[in-house]
Structure 1
Amino acid sequence: MNRNNKLEQLDDRTLLLNLWLTQGIVLLIALLGSWFLYTKTEFWQLLLTMHPSYLGYAVLLIVLVVASNIIIEKTVPPSWVDDGGMNERIFRSLSIPTTFLLCVAVGISEEWLFRGVIHELIGNVWTSILFTAIHFRYLQKPILIGMVFLTSYLLGILFTWTNSLITVMFVHATINFVLALFLKYKASSIHSQEDM
């Protein structure tokens, strides 16, 4: 049985628990990696550096990624962007505050590890390839893989320009949150139409 089939067999609660657990592991690895890579001062400077001009870059990237995702979602055949319903299963029953918390946790843990640690060791291209590879359920979907790689690569460029971990964490969390709300809205409108 492949990994995707195992995921499909999990109930929604277990799937969500696995996601939280995975983010905890990612955060722990990021913490350990940072401990080896940075002095305390270097790490806090990397994490907390924020300049007002960074916000403009951040908003531009958020709009670009969210708009691209929604346009692709609405223009290509559904089978091209179907992740097996995993994202819908994760977000459909969550409250908005819990959705927000989850998206923030993912943004912080993944950016801390991928930009704050791995990017510093192997550069943007390899980090983006690795980031794409961990999204294994998308590997059979070229459009989804391309979107994940490009988003990761753009986050890497933003990180290189700003040298600000909090900026890329904010962008990642916001993209995830807006797309999760879009997914929740889409799922609820589909269920409303089915009830008619």
Structure 2
Amino acid sequence: MNDSLILKNITKHISLNNEEVTYFNSLLKERTVQKKELVLKQQRLCKEIYFVQSGLLRAFYMDVSGKESTIMFAMPDWWITDMYCFINHHPAMLNIEALEDSVVLQLKKDDLDNLYLKIPKFERFFRIMMQNAYTREQLRIIENLSLTAEERYYAFLQKYPLAAERITQKQIASYLGITPEFLSTIKTNKHKK
């Protein structure tokens, strides 16, 4: 298992000795996910958090009429799950889909809880990760309330510069909360400037 990317991610915030690395790696399960495959499906119990080794994933909510609202994208070196449901042992509210062939590392909730007990510094790592995620989401909500659709699109391009060309216009529009047609107008106006 190529664990260097995940270890670089973790060692940004905590240091691990060889024994701790070995134990942590023993909890991870590598999973290859095909394009359009769901890693997590709404209403199924959310029991894992995923680290993206390669590829691109999208978390989205689908309402009863089939309308999709994209919550986030996850690229290599990002973590993704339905956090509320993962923490509280609830059925998922979100779907997580591979937008291209991807490889993820899965960590089960029970294994994470045991990891906290065996190597308490992992609580610090995941606390920092949760704080960063909360901050990102709060800023996104403020952007949605205060920025125009065009400004939100430019903010999206800054946040996901490497993924923007790999994501469909429909998926970007659902992330921005606008129609694909309106996004097309924004993009056309951008090229005219």
TM-score, L = length of structure 2: 0.31
Which protein has greater RCO, CA pairs closer than 8 Å, 6+ apart?
Answer: 1
More strand by share: 2
